Structure 1
Amino acid sequence: TVRGLAPRLRAAARIVIGDPFSRYVQLLLALSRARDLVVVDDGTATVEFLAQLARGERLVRWHRRGGRRGPRELLLAPVSAAARRRLTPGEGNPRIEVFSAMPVDAAPEGLTLTRNTLAWTRARFGPPRLTGGADLVGTSLVETGVVDEDRYREAVHALVRAHGVTRYFAHRRESAAKLRHLTDGTGLEVVRPDLPLELIARRGPTGRTLLSFPSTVVHTLPLALAGTGVRIAVLDIDPQWLTGHASPRAQGFLSGVTSSARAAHRLTSVPLNP
C-alpha cells in the first residue's frame, strides 16, 4: 500500500490526515513533499497532540504508560520523530493547519487553528424528536486498560437506577462480552451506531438527557444538539477506578476533558458513586 501511494504522495500539494499518532500515517508523511498539511480530527487526542508539539515531546497517545519502549516502538522511533518535526511549524516545513471542534490551550506558534462548529451537521440533520428517558454514551476506557471493568459495570447499573437510562450507545471498541454484562438485570437497549454519534443524535430520536463518560462527544454533542433542548451531562471518573495498568497521565487527562467541557459548553457534572 505504501509503495502504491508513494508517487501520489510525492506529487500532492496538500495532505489531509486524521490521526497524527498513527504509525502508518507517520510513515506516509515521510514520503510526502506537500507544502500544506491539514489535521482533521475532533478527538480528545487532538488536544494532547498539540500540547506535545508545543512542548517538543515525542508523539505518544495519552493512555500509553510510556517508560521503556519495546522493539516495535524502537524500530519506528525514527519515523515518529521525523513526523513530529514535519508537523511542527518552522522554516522549511509545510504550513500546518488543525481543523477541530476541540478546545485548545497549547499549540506551537505558527500553526493555524480552524474551529469546527458542526454547522453542516446542524443544517443537514434534525432537529431530533426527543424521548422522555435518558441515553448513556459508552466508552472504551475498560478496553484500553484505563478503568476497572467491575467498577464500570457498577456505575452503569447505578446510572440506570438513578437517571432512568434506557439506551446505551456503545463505543466501537467495546467488547460484546462486556456489553452483555451491562444489559444483565438493567433492561438497557445497547445500540452500536453505524454512523458518528453526532449524526445519530441529531437525526433522533434522542433522550431528553444525554449522559457521557469523558470522551470526545462531551465537546461535539453540545455543538451538534445546540438549540434542541437536550441536556448533556458529563460523568467524572473517580481516581480509584483506574487500573494498575493506567498511564500516570490518565487521571489528569480525563479530568481535563470534563473540566474543559464544563467550561466551554456549561455542562453539568454527574458524580459516579455506585
Structure 2
Amino acid sequence: MNPRAGSNTGPTPHTLAFVESPVQLLNVLEWAHSRNLHRDDRDDRDDWEDREDHRSVRGARNPEPGAGFTLVVLSPTDPMTRGQLRRMAELARKEGHTVRWEEARGGTMAPFRTIGGLTRLLRRAERMVMGDPFSRYVQLLLTITRASELVVVDDGTATMEFVGQLARGERLVRWHRKGGRTGPRDILFAPVSAAARRRLAPNADRRVEVFSAMPIDQAPDGVTLTANDFAWTRDRFGPPRVTKTADMVGTSLVETGVVDADRYLTAVQTLAATHGATRYFAHRRESAEKLHRLAVETGLEIVRPDLPLELIARRGPIGRTVLSFPSTVVHTLPLALSGTDVRVAVCDIDPAWLTDHASPRAQGFLSGVTGTATDVHRLATVTTI
C-alpha cells in the first residue's frame, strides 16, 4: 500500500469539484480543509463566478473575491438527497467556496445542457475533484477534462471497491451490481467507462490522489492515499451532548436489493429491544413505506437527518451507543466522534438475510466492511426466522 500523504504546499491550481451526494460534498470540504484551501485560492474571478440562475442555490450569498474553489453539484431528483445537498452547499459557501448547482437530471435535455455548460471550465481546470468515480456523469466529465491532478474523495464504502478495481485493472462496477447482467446501456457506455478508467491511472503527466477514511489495503502504483480524519467536522461542530440511550443508523441495503425487508425489520426490532435504542436515523435512500413500517412495528422514533450523519452526531445530542449494520459510518463515526464517550457498535449481516438478487460479492464485501473497522464494538449477528 502506498504511504498516505500529508497536506501540500505551494501554488494552488484552479480546482473544479463534482459531487452528487451530501457525503461526497462533506468529504470535499474535509479535503479542502486538509489542503488549507481558503479565500486566496482563486483568481480570475469573472471566469469562476457563481451564476444567478437555476444553477445557484436560492437565497445563498455569493462568496467574497478570492474564495476557495468551484464546487459543482450534479443534483439528483430524490427530494431527501436534494435537501441535504442544499444544506451542505450553504456550509460550503460559508467556507468561502463557490457553489454551482446543476439540475443535471431535470429532463431529457438536462445532461446535454449540463455538459455543454461545464466544458469550458473542465478544460481550464488544473485539478478535478470527484466524489463518485462509478458515476456515468463523472466518467463522461473525465473524458473532457485536461486536469493534471485528479482527486477522488470518499463516497462511502464504494471507495474501497473502486481502489481495488483500479489496482486490478477491472471495469468500474459498484459492488452490489457485480455479477449481475450487463444491460444495453452498460454496453453503449462501455467505451466511455474504459476511457475514464484509463484517465484515473496516474502517469508522468497526471497525478491521482484518493482522499479516504476507509481502510484501503491496495492501490495502483503512483496513486497517493491521503487519510481523512474528519478534522474539519471536529473543528466546526461539537463536542456533542451524549445521552444515556442508544441510537440506530439505518441502511439502504433493502432498497438496493441486497437484504430481505422482513429479515431487516426483525433484526432492527431485536437490536433496538436488546440495546434500548430509541431513535432510528434513516438513510437518505430508505423508502417512506419501509420507514413507516419500522416506526409502527418497532416503536423507534424515525429521524430523517438534514445533514450527513457525521455532522448530526457531532452536533448532538447523540446516544452513548450508536448501533449500525455494515456501512460507511462504522469507519467515519469513530473519527468524527473522537474524544467523546460514544461507542459505535456494528452488527454483521447474516447470509440468511440476503435476497436471491444479491450479488455473489455482497456477503464478502459487507464482512470486509465490518472486519476492517477500527474503534468499533462487534455485536453478535442477529438470528431471524
TM range (shorter): over 0.9
1:192 lines up with 2:304 in the alignment: yes
Amino acid of the residue matched to residue 285 of structure 2?
A: R
Higher relative contact order (CA 8 A, sep 6+): 1
Aligned to 1:63: 176
2-structure distance, mates of 1:109, 1:272:
41
Shift in alpha-carbon separation, 1:194–1:266, aligned structure 2, 3 A: closer
User: What SS does the aligned partner of 1:184 have?
Assistant: helix
2-structure distance, mates of 1:42, 1:69:
23
Aligned to 1:51: 164
Q: Once the 2 structures are TM-superposed, how far is the Cα of residue 91 of structure 1 from its aligned partner?
A: 4.1
Shift in alpha-carbon separation, 1:170–1:2, aligned structure 2, 3 A: same
**Contact residue 42 and residue 101 of structure 1 kept, 8 A:** no
1:19 lines up with 2:132 in the alignment: yes
Q: Once the 2 structures are TM-superposed, how far is the Cα of residue 68 of structure 1 from its aligned partner?
A: 3.6
Between the two proteins, the alignment pairs up a number of residues equal to 271
Q: Structure 2 length as normaliser, TM-score? A: 0.69
Aligned to 2:378: 268
Post-superposition Cα deviations, 1:101-123, rounded to whole Å, max 9, x if no partner, equal 11110110100011010112112
Q: Once the 2 structures are TM-superposed, how far is the Cα of residue 267 of structure 1 from its aligned partner?
A: 3.1
1-structure distance, mates of 2:178, 2:211:
28
Post-superposition Cα deviations, 1:222-255, rounded to whole Å, max 9, x if no partner, equal 0011121001101100011100000000000000
Aligned to 1:75: 188
1:231 lines up with 2:336 in the alignment: no
Post-superposition Cα deviations, 1:63-120, rounded to whole Å, max 9, x if no partner, equal 004354111000100010000011012345x210111111110110100011010112
Aligned pair partner of 1:118 in 230, 234, 251? 230
**Contact residue 325 and residue 348 of structure 2 kept, 8 A:** yes
1:201 lines up with 2:310 in the alignment: no
Aligned to 1:154: 266
The ranges of structure 1 where at least 4 consecutive aligned residues each deviate by more than 4 angstroms after the TM superposition are none
Q: Once the 2 structures are TM-superposed, how far is the Cα of residue 3 of structure 1 from its aligned partner?
A: 1.2
1-structure distance, mates of 2:121, 2:339:
43
Q: Structure 1 length as normaliser, TM-score? A: 0.96
**Contact residue 65 and residue 246 of structure 1 kept, 8 A:** no
**Contact residue 233 and residue 270 of structure 1 kept, 8 A:** no
Query: CA RMSD, aligned part only?
Result: 1.2
User: What SS does the aligned partner of 1:142 have?
Assistant: coil
- Specify every segment of 5 or more residues in structure 1 that has no aligned partner in the other structure, as ranges: none
Amino acid of the residue matched to residue 202 of structure 1?
A: R
2-structure distance, mates of 1:137, 1:162:
15
Aligned to 2:369: 257
Amino acid of the residue matched to residue 383 of structure 2?
A: N
Aligned to 1:241: 353
Shift in alpha-carbon separation, 1:267–1:160, aligned structure 2, 3 A: closer
Aligned to 2:254: 142
Amino acid of the residue matched to residue 255 of structure 2?
A: E
Shift in alpha-carbon separation, 1:268–1:17, aligned structure 2, 3 A: same
Q: Which moved more, 1:54-63 or 1:9-18?
A: 9-18
User: What SS does the aligned partner of 1:209 have?
Assistant: strand
Amino acid of the residue matched to residue 43 of structure 1?
A: G
Aligned to 2:121: 8
Aligned to 1:164: 276
User: What SS does the aligned partner of 1:201 have?
Assistant: helix
Amino acid of the residue matched to residue 249 of structure 2?
A: V
- Specify every segment of 5 or more residues in structure 2 that has no aligned partner in the other structure, as ranges: 1-113
2-structure distance, mates of 1:7, 1:158:
54
Aligned to 2:239: 127
2-structure distance, mates of 1:250, 1:84:
23
1-structure distance, mates of 2:297, 2:239:
33
